[in-house]
Amino acid sequence: MVWKGNSVMRQRMVYLFTAVNWYRLELFKNLAMMVDLKVYILNGYKVGYDGINYLPNLENLNIQILDEKQSQFNELVKIIDKEEFDTIVVPSMNSMHFIRLTTMLCHYYRQKGKKVLYFWEYWPMEKERSSLSKKVKQSVRHWAVRINKSYIDKFIVPSIYTFSFYRKLGIPASKCVRCFNSSEVEQKHYTRDEVRNLYGIRNEDKVILYFGRLEKYKGIDELVRAFEKLNLENCHLLICGPGKLDTKIASSRIHIAGSIPPNERGKYYAAADLFVLPNTYKNKVEPWGLTVNEAMAFALPILVTDATGSGLDLVFNGVNGFVMDSNNIEEELQKYLRLIMNDDIFRNSLSENSKKIISNYTFSNMAKAFRWA
């Protein structure tokens, strides 16, 4: 809040973002209700959605997409400085380019007396089996946060993992602002059988849903093997997401849906009885996993691993699901799939608790973290 004389002025904020992600637009809409907001998308990243010709609707949002030249420091500050603002959210340092750019922006705007905020879902991958070059990049990221911590007023923290990471880097807890990291799928009145009918799944059958990219670190291979070994009666595995998957695994009980546009995701959650995101420490981890939020909003029990950022925040063992050991993922999957899918009363209890736990994870509450930081 900015005071001028005896009147109160709305806070004026510039938000620098690195992509047009459909799942962040609602954050911007809610934040714009609280502050005067201008969003700049850097490097001309005008993206669709996971290989689908789907571009988010940018109408009624004060968003400007900058090309690569405009996104260089000297040109960028010329553009930004035309705005009247009090607070700037600098880009996450997820590449060497943005480490350099964000470092320069932090120093420049702190010297100009602006409040500098930083939001990043990243946390260190201590168990990760990675190459030397990747470990070097990780060390550089950590170094970048350390050298900028005195120039950043507040760190917007989405998870317990991220908070622990910042504290290990010497960032005071007083500089960390808790944020309800959110993603909301439109809650239409989806029927349970709309998607089931597409794949010949009966209403009385049970559906295990996977939603995410089909990459090795996501644990999709382990999930398929565990499901096949269990051979659960009247149970189906529905796999949604972009990427390559051996179509030979498809069967009368394993269904590969491919990429699903954001405006159709809800009906897949509505068709399911359990959501699984079995991330591993192969190559990289999942910084958060917004599909967990979405599944919980549809009252689904959750199985994740300790390589999933949202696990410590959203999933409580025996309450709304389980956090599995990523070092023993296939056996863990078999144990918990059997436990949950064979006990209707227990599964229904997990479902009810998921809906309650996720209730605070709204874009309005997420925006408040930036507003009051």
Q: What is the pLDDT of residue 249?
A: 82
Pair of tokens at residue 78: 């010329």
pLDDT band at 311 (very low <50, low <70, confident <90, very high): very high
Q: What is the pLDDT of residue 243?
A: 85
Q: What is the pLDDT of residue 127?
A: 53
**pLDDT at 149 exceeding the cut of 80:** yes
**How many whole angstroms separate alpha carbon 279 and alpha carbon 261?**
22
Query: What would the mean pLDDT of 109-129 be, rounded to a whole number?
Result: 84
Task: Give the pLDDT confidence of 235-255 residue by residue, as tens digits.
Answer: 999 999 988 877 678 889 999
Q: What is the pTM of this model?
A: 0.91
**pLDDT at 319 exceeding the cut of 90:** yes
**How many whole angstroms separate alpha carbon 211 and alpha carbon 225?**
17
For the 2-178 domain, the top CATH level (class) is alpha beta
Mean pLDDT lowest among 47-61, 115-129, 204-218, 287-301:
47-61
**pLDDT at 175 exceeding the cut of 60:** yes
Domain 193-359: assigned CATH number: 3.40.50.2000
Do the domains at 2-178 and 193-359 have one common CATH topology? yes
Q: What is the pLDDT of residue 283?
A: 61
3-state secondary structure the chain: CEEECCEEECCEEEEEECCCCHHHHHHHHHHHCCCEEEEEEHHHCCCCECCECCCCCCCCCCEEECCCCCCCHHHHHHHHCCCCCCEEEECCCCCHHHHHHHHHHHHHHHHCCCEEEEECCCCCCCCCECCHHHHHHHHHHHHHHHHHCCCCCEEEECCHHHHHHHHHCCCCHHHEEECCCCCCCCCCCCCCHHHHHHCCCCCCCEEEEEECCCCHHHCHHHHHHHHHHHCCCCEEEEEECCCCCCHHHCCCCEEEEECCCHHHHHHHHHCCCEEEECCCCECCCECCCHHHHHHHHCCCCEEEECCECCHHHHCCECCCEEEECHHHHHHHHHHHHHHHHCCHHHHHHHHHHHHHHHHHCCHHHHHHHHHHC
The residue extents of the domains of the chain are 2-178, 193-359
| Mean pLDDT (the chain, rounded) | 89
Could you tell me if 101 and 73 are in contact, meaning their C-beta atoms sit under 8 angstroms apart?
A: yes
CA 194 vs CA 128, 170, 191, 285: distances in Å: 39, 51, 6, 33
Query: What would the mean pLDDT of 114-118 be, rounded to a whole number?
Result: 98
**How many whole angstroms separate alpha carbon 51 and alpha carbon 226?**
28
